[in-house]
Structure 1
């Protein structure tokens, strides 16, 4: 499989990339800062550019079978700007499968399923800017007619790859507190290769 990877220099992006390369897949990465590229990226094709630029995204996804975006909110409106561009570029290139990394805040609240977690007392965060960014990405994908999946980890500390975690459709696993970036990247790779959670959010935690 040839995979377009956006946001591959972050912790989850690097973890996903390791899985994809080790699995024998071709990866083309869109990278803003080539200085962040480590040795593991030597087996990936690099496109130097910005996810806020449609032409850069089109160059990255062209000829690929699937798109994986590990973009964060970047302290601004990166997701609100870039996700519609990713959808546009994918449709132009006739690519259907996309997986993005979200946040547990945009899963449904168990206490009130009509609310997202970040809108309920289940969320401990007082700032909602990042969650709203991820919500905008979710709503864009939901109306896109693409085969999307949003992987929604809870708190993401550094940690080892365990391959032992819980996941649940549209909700955070009960009492889930954290999940490592390594296990999140591994799960994202499994979702891609197993074609699971199509048009679903996947809550992820230990």
Structure 2
């Protein structure tokens, strides 16, 4: 497949690029600073852009089979960035007629986990309160993606870890795995690539966790 990855220097985006190249895909990585992308390989094209103008990034998505985005805030002070940058991506994707789009959100933005008890709901509530600005941004981003003309999928992980890919995790379309508190960034990337061709994930939020 021909894939474009936004947020390619972030923890999840970098893993999407790496694993996609390992699988033999052609990858365009869209970054602000190419020096921050340590991934190399045959089939990789690096495109420098600041995502301020949809027209400027249209060439990065033209003719692609899917676009995957790891864009998002790294702290509360970055709240608003996910919606703003994703809006640029949507403008470019829709202008070029690309159908498949996958973006990363977060578990607290979606439904309660399957069979969540009082303690689990309380923990999620505390996390949501502490990061309310970030999650408000992600909710707005999700709404814009859901209102787009794309065949979208929103991937919602819980707390992220830096660990090697395992390929062993749970996914729930339209929900979230019970007691799913952690997942590695590499496995979120693995799930995103697996979901590209999954028709059950079209226009759905997908919870992913160990």
Structure 2: where are the runs of 5+ without partners? 115-119
Aligned to 2:148: 144
Aligned to 1:73: 73
Alpha-carbon deviations, 1:42-101, whole Å to 9, x = none?
Answer: 641111111233233212112222111111124142222122222221121111110001
User: 1:196 Cα shift?
Assistant: 4.2
Q: What does 1:191-202 correspond to in 2, within 5 Å?
A: 191-202=195-206
Q: Does 1:123 align with 2:125?
A: yes
Q: What does 1:1-206 correspond to in 2, within 5 Å?
A: 1-40=1-40, 43-74=43-74, 75-109=78-112, 122-125=124-127, 126-206=130-210
Could you tell me how far apart the structure 2 residues matched to 1:176 and 1:26 are? 32
What is the TM-score normalised by the length of structure 1?
Answer: 0.89
How many aligned residue pairs are there?
202
After the TM superposition, which segments of 4 or more aligned residues of structure 1 sit over 6 Å from their partners?
none
**Aligned-pair Cα RMSD in Å:** 2.3
Report the structure, 1 or 2, having the larger helix content: 2
Q: Would the aligned equivalents of 1:170 and 1:201 in 2 still touch at CA under 8 Å? A: yes
* SS of equivalent residue, structure 1 residue 203: strand
Q: Would the aligned equivalents of 1:156 and 1:181 in 2 still touch at CA under 8 Å? A: yes
Could you tell me how far apart the structure 1 residues matched to 2:178 and 2:51 are? 34
Could you tell me how far apart the structure 1 residues matched to 2:64 and 2:48 are? 17
User: 1:38 Cα shift?
Assistant: 1.1
Q: Would the aligned equivalents of 1:151 and 1:188 in 2 still touch at CA under 8 Å? A: yes
Structure 1: where are the runs of 5+ without partners? 112-116
What is the TM-score normalised by the length of structure 2?
Answer: 0.87
